[in-house]
Amino acid sequence: MPSEANEQVKSFQTSDGMNYAPKGKPNQVVQPGEFIFAAAALDHGHIYGMTGGLIEAGATLKWVYDPDPAKVQAFLKSYPQAAPAANLEQILQDPEVRLVASAAIPSERGPLGLRVMDAGKDYFTDKAPFTSLEQLEAARQKVQETGRKYAVYYSERLHVESAVYAGQLIQQGAIGRVLQITGFGPHRLNAPSRPSWFFEKEKYGGILCDIGSHQIEQFLFYSGCKDAEVVHSKVANYNHAEYPELEDYGDATLVGDNGATQYFRVDWFTPDGLSTWGDGRTFIMGTEGYIELRKYTDIARDRQGDHVYLVNKDGEQHFSVRGQIGFPYFGELILDCIHRTEHAMTQEHAFKAAELCLKAQNQALHLTTSL
């Protein structure tokens, strides 16, 4: 079982989820120069976590591109080994580049992915990967047509050690068959730091499409569902009338094709006094026990996150796993791109999570906020 956190693991941004970029121990699966990638469209800070994860797994960063020179210069401060590309075509036409990582404005992620796949390269995008079902269908068709990958950075499971460890416990049978998952994904708004597109629904897609995608992806993974039905969903703008297109609250209930169920809540109401950007928690109930994840903090007790609580026939157990588990997704993704396998995440799983978050968003009841 995990021991105390490894001192080599560096801290990451805790005040604002938009800049969430955890750093883990290098776990290289390829040699330098064996797997070359580029970063393009730097609209969301998650590009730093995506880039860092790939580099830790041995990938070589060759290019960076964004039409905004200030974003490129900021990126180069963290990754000076990248060469600034004059335009996106310079990246797409480079035969050495195997994969393009991107954190574009959400509404632009799908169209960019089509261009990348048409250029014969795999695509790795920040969540949410689409803002419409039409974009999703276009990507599905393009994957079939080109044979390229459309990978998605569902960071709240892939880049959180407690979430990775929970998956390992479930696979080992620690809580039996998973029956129900409850997830809470609160975020700190920090409105002055947000770009204008963040408040335009056509561009960010809605709260269930955006941060709700994390919750639905975790449900499919932990429960083993291949599909699910959105039974009910709702959204609201409770307290930010100055941003009329912002949804600051959302929740949904799903039933999986194997009978497992989920309820989740996402919101932009993290109080200023919390030590991190959101008190993200996941509760996983099985036939033989349950797991609780306190991902980013254990309030009023331990500001370090990645706490896993397990209760089953063996008793009550607590694991502090920061720095102990690592982030295997990135190495698995690199090897999947090389060998054309699907060990990191299947294409259908990535697309199904996107499909369900879009359906939850589209059918959501809009709550009235007037008194």
**Secondary structure (DSSP) of 332-363:** HHHHHHHHT--SS--HHHHHHHHHHHHHHHHT
Find how far residue 256's CA is from the centre of its chain: 21
The Cα–Cα gap between 117 and 137 comes to: 14
Q: Are 61 and 109 in contact (CB under 8 A)?
A: no
* % the chain with pLDDT above 90: 92
Is this structure's pTM higher than 0.85? Answer: yes
pLDDT band at 1 (very low <50, low <70, confident <90, very high): very low
Task: Select from 100, 104, 115, 185 the least CA-distant residue to 151.
Answer: 100
The Cα–Cα gap between 138 and 359 comes to: 16
Specify whether the backbone of 340 is left (phi greater than 0), alpha (psi in -120 to 50) or beta: left
Question: With 50 as the cut, is the pLDDT of residue 204 above it?
Answer: yes
Question: With 90 as the cut, is the pLDDT of residue 74 above it?
Answer: yes
Instruction: Kindly report, residue by residue over 97-152, the tens digit of the pLDDT.
Output: 999 999 999 999 999 999 999 999 999 999 999 999 999 999 999 999 999 999 99
pLDDT of 25: 74
Give CA separation, 29 vs 128, 198, 208, in Å: 27, 36, 35
